[in-house]
Structure 1
Amino acid sequence: MNNHTVIQDTAGINAFYAKIYSLVGVGLGISAVVSALMLTMFQSVIVSVIMGASWIYYLAIAAELVLVFAASGMALKNSPMALPLFLVYSALNGFTLSVVLALYTQSSVLSAFVTASAMFFAMAFVGKVTKKDLSGMGRALRAALFGLIIASVVNIFLGSGSFDFLISIAGVIIFSGLIAWDNQKIRYVYEQTNGQVENGWAISMALNLYLDFINLFLSLLRLFGRND
């Protein structure tokens, strides 16, 4: 492979990363705007949900799960519906996030966001440049994620602060690793398709990274805001 080809490949994969991260940025931006609106202009709605209409929050969570599976399925089929579903999910997640954020102080939210951002970009860099195959670690972390979900559901009924602390620590570890793995997958997909990657793949990987960041942020928020 000559230098010209190497430069072309580097430019191509960097453009692919940029495309995916622009989608992640749009998704996070929509969520941030919706959350900000709910916590300011529509603060009374959040208070009502927290004080007596929690079913709205849980209904929104259920709708989010449906949207995630639908968006993922459409993305893998390279359907044009994948992007609108991703954007709708981002907006709905902005609402559910606002309910959670209302329970914490601004300092805890800011600390968690800054830390999550720093960890996200650090692990993304590791995933992009490392030569070690992370697929084995990724599969193990996916399995651990299912265990984390089950533990979180169980703790809803137990209400154990110590258990929640352990779940939060596990969440930070799991999602940090998944960020690295998902970033490595971007390079693998690009190479395996010789740079001819369908838009669906970009949306699918953007959704994965969006979820990685949000869940890392929430895990850190529970740690930083334990006394809130």
Structure 2
Amino acid sequence: MNDNIIYTETDTGLNRFFAKIYGLVGFGIGLSAFVSFLMLYVFSDNMVAIMTSHSLIYYGAIILELILVFLASGAARKNTPAALPLFLTYSALNGFTLSFVIVAYAQTTVLQAFLSSALLFFVMAIIGAVTKRDLSGMGKAMYAAIIGILIAGLVNLFIGSGLMSLIISVVSVLIFSGLIAYDNQMIKRVYEGTGGNVGNGWAISMALSLYLDFINLFLSLLRIFGRND
């Protein structure tokens, strides 16, 4: 009977940890979507001006994004108060830069990619949370594959091959789908490894990882669905 009580308390605590993480992920994605909406429909004139005359603003935002994601990740690992503001700032800035990508595609394509990403994310998250198989090896392989994808993407900037672009997008979908499962298993491992004593930093760190998984999955599917846009 005491064992049942312990298991129940553990499951409840783990569920709360998952809920906290996914609350942050949802808020981050919602914030990005809101900022993208504002850029596309409220500040569309400013967006055109940036694309035509002030492109350095866009590229500067990309560089700032890279800096913020490293700062947010580091702050989360150290469990500092700056972790959450950095994560939210990064999410908002990412919404700004995403709007310049989304504007190139039809609305139906964007909606199709978003819904497909959400469904695939949900399925892979469940798989990662319930599977008994150790996904550590797969996670390491997926992170190594990201480097290969980045190199292939840089090469394709000069080649401009539509086929290579499609292959990169398909492989990216596989990579980030695998990482979603891996990161969800990591949530359980972090909780169990700390004996349930997980701080806000861990929640923000895991939320950032899942947020990045979703965004990259969305962009990969967007490129696949919008090949003819």
Please, what TM-score do these two structures have when normalized by structure 2? 0.97
- In the alignment, what sits opposite 1:54? 55
- In the alignment, what sits opposite 2:122? 121
Partner Cα separation in structure 1 for residue 161 and residue 50 of structure 2:
23
Report how far residue 198 of structure 1 moved: 1.4
Higher deviation after alignment, 47-56 or 32-41 = 47-56
Please, what TM-score do these two structures have when normalized by structure 1? 0.97
Partner Cα separation in structure 2 for residue 222 and residue 54 of structure 1:
22
Structure 2 unaligned spans of 5+: none
Partner Cα separation in structure 2 for residue 134 and residue 61 of structure 1:
31
- In the alignment, what sits opposite 2:10? 9
Partner Cα separation in structure 2 for residue 17 and residue 24 of structure 1:
10
Report how far residue 151 of structure 1 moved: 1.5
Q: CA RMSD in A?
A: 1.0
- In the alignment, what sits opposite 1:165? 166
SS at match of 1:40: helix
Letter aligned with residue 164 of structure 1: S
- In the alignment, what sits opposite 2:44? 43
Partner Cα separation in structure 1 for residue 209 and residue 83 of structure 2:
13
- In the alignment, what sits opposite 2:218? 217
Partner Cα separation in structure 2 for residue 133 and residue 54 of structure 1:
45
Q: Deviations over 1:75-113 (max 9, x none)?
A: 111111011000000000000011100000001000000
Spell out the pairing of 1:95-134 with structure 2 (5 A cutoff): 95-134=96-135
- In the alignment, what sits opposite 1:63? 64
Partner Cα separation in structure 1 for residue 30 and residue 86 of structure 2:
15
- In the alignment, what sits opposite 1:150? 151
Report how far residue 158 of structure 1 moved: 2.0
Partner Cα separation in structure 2 for residue 152 and residue 51 of structure 1:
25
Letter aligned with residue 143 of structure 1: A
- In the alignment, what sits opposite 1:141? 142
Report how far residue 7 of structure 1 moved: 0.9
Q: 1:48 to 1:158 in 2, by over 3 A?
A: farther
Q: Deviations over 1:153-205 (max 9, x none)?
A: 22222222111101100110000000000000000000000000111111000
Report how far residue 50 of structure 1 moved: 2.9
SS at match of 1:79: coil
Report how far residue 117 of structure 1 moved: 0.2
SS at match of 1:170: helix
- In the alignment, what sits opposite 2:175? 174
- In the alignment, what sits opposite 2:95? 94
SS at match of 1:103: coil
Partner Cα separation in structure 2 for residue 203 and residue 64 of structure 1:
17
Partner Cα separation in structure 1 for residue 173 and residue 53 of structure 2:
31
- In the alignment, what sits opposite 2:23? 22
Q: 1:141 to 1:19 in 2, by over 3 A?
A: same
